[in-house]
Amino acid sequence: MRIIFSCLVVIVLSGCADADGGDDNLGGTPSQPYTDFFSPLPEAVPYPASNPFSEDKQELGMLLFFDPILSGEEDVACATCHHPDFGWADGRSFSVGVGGTGLGPNRDDNGIGNLTLINTPTIMNVGFTGLGVDDKTVPSNFISGAYFWDLRADTLEEQALGPIGNPVEMRGNLAEHTQLDDDQYLAMIIERLKHSSYKAYFDEAFGTVDPVTQLAVESVSAENLAAVLATFQRRVITTNSRFDKFLMGDETALTSREITGLNKFINGGCARCHGGMMLSDNLLHEGDQIVPDLPSVRTPSLRNIEKTAPYMQDGSMTTLRDSVAIYEQREDLQVDLGEDDIGDIEAFLRSLTTEEFYQEVPGGLPTGNQVGGNI
């Protein structure tokens, strides 16, 4: 019954062009106008006019991303939780922030218990976040976003300062830090940077004289810190997966089984939320709880999904297969997925991996701090 249903959908979607193809429509032959549902990632990431690209900003952003100087007790870096060895996440259900030691699943909270309450998403391709189903090209005024599971940060620049002030992630428990309000705490971190070896890097990246007024300006600021972290993260992109090649017309880029999975992914209703360039509409689907008993969250991107286990907002699904299987018998989500479909869809999702992705770790830091913090 399910097979017949899917056949009908395929025939309708492909304008009956393959109507004589019978079962082939479910098999490994391209049979749909796939670019109605998805678009390949562009080669280049868009930079907002308010924070244009520069080499200096990118380089400084990389160093700071890996430097624990941004944390209260100088032990946690952004890379502690967003590390290239774990697909720019950390392979954990919940992450260990301040006071922890080690990297990834082996990281120990040392009894301090500073655990994030939600799964850490990858930062791969965050520069493209928000490109929806209808975007075929990136509009020149595109500003990526929004971010976090609940979409509370509009831009990557706005997002960047969040973890720094977060008590669990980077701020820590020292009374001298917790008694400051958020603005005072951030000002303390900026003051610390002004007196560090990063001062010269900020001067180089932003200059020391206002180009209009010719007055001296301070290059180390919260705004410029956010700008460099965002600029670095826009570098961490993974274009040109086999799926992108397929969308660009190379029908041999996917195996027959992967194409079967792709057809089932569309016909089963997954692309309703997981469409567009990122395989995500980046929307909260109020009332659509994918994981029972947990709040509705924004649709995550499925790009490089095989690199970023465990899955879901609570990291409760350890395998990709489990996270597809959760959709079985889920009429509430308008999803039509049978047991036989799970393996095919999983195979398709693995074609979204970019094998050669940017995963450089700096060899050292200007402060002499340990790269990535206490990992």
Using a 10 angstrom Cβ sphere, with 0-12 exposed, 13-18 middle and 19 or more buried, the burial of residue 158 is middle
Q: How far is CA 152 from the centre of its chain?
A: 15
Contact residues for 221 (Cβ-Cβ < 8 A; gap 6+): 190
Residues of this chain, 267-296, that bind ligand HEC according to CB under 6 A: 268-270, 272-274, 285, 288, 290-291, 294
Answer yes or no whether residue 253 interacts with ligand HEC by CB under 6 A.
no
Q: How far is the CB of 70 from ligand HEC (least distance, A)?
A: 5
Q: For the chain, how big is the Rg over CA atoms in Å?
A: 22
- Give the interface segment with ligand HEC, choosing from 22-30, 119-127, 185-193, 350-358 (CB under 6 A): 119-127
Q: Which residues, in sequence order, are bridge partners of residue 83?
A: 89
Answer yes or no whether residue 88 interacts with ligand HEC by CB under 6 A.
no
Answer yes or no whether residue 159 interacts with ligand HEC by CB under 6 A.
yes
Q: In a 3-state reduction of DSSP, which class is residue 6?
A: helix
Do 185 and 177 touch, CB atoms closer than 8 A? Answer: yes
Answer yes or no whether residue 116 interacts with ligand HEC by CB under 6 A.
yes
Answer yes or no whether residue 32 interacts with ligand HEC by CB under 6 A.
no
Cα 161 from Cα 187, distance rounded (Å): 12
Cα 138 from Cα 97, distance rounded (Å): 35
Interacting residue with ligand HEC among 40, 45, 72, 82 (CB under 6 A): 82
Cα 118 from Cα 113, distance rounded (Å): 14
Q: How far is the CB of 213 from ligand HEC (least distance, A)?
A: 31
Interacting residue with ligand HEC among 38, 47, 246, 311 (CB under 6 A): 311
Q: C-alpha angle 363/369/372, rounded to 5°?
A: 65
In the complex, the residues that contact ligand HEC under the rule CB under 6 A are 70, 76, 78, 80-82, 95, 97, 116, 118, 120-121, 123, 126, 129, 147-149, 156, 159-160, 163-164, 169-170, 229, 233, 265, 268-270, 272-274, 285, 288, 290-291, 294, 297, 299-300, 302, 305, 308, 311-313, 323-324, 327, 333, 335, 337, 345
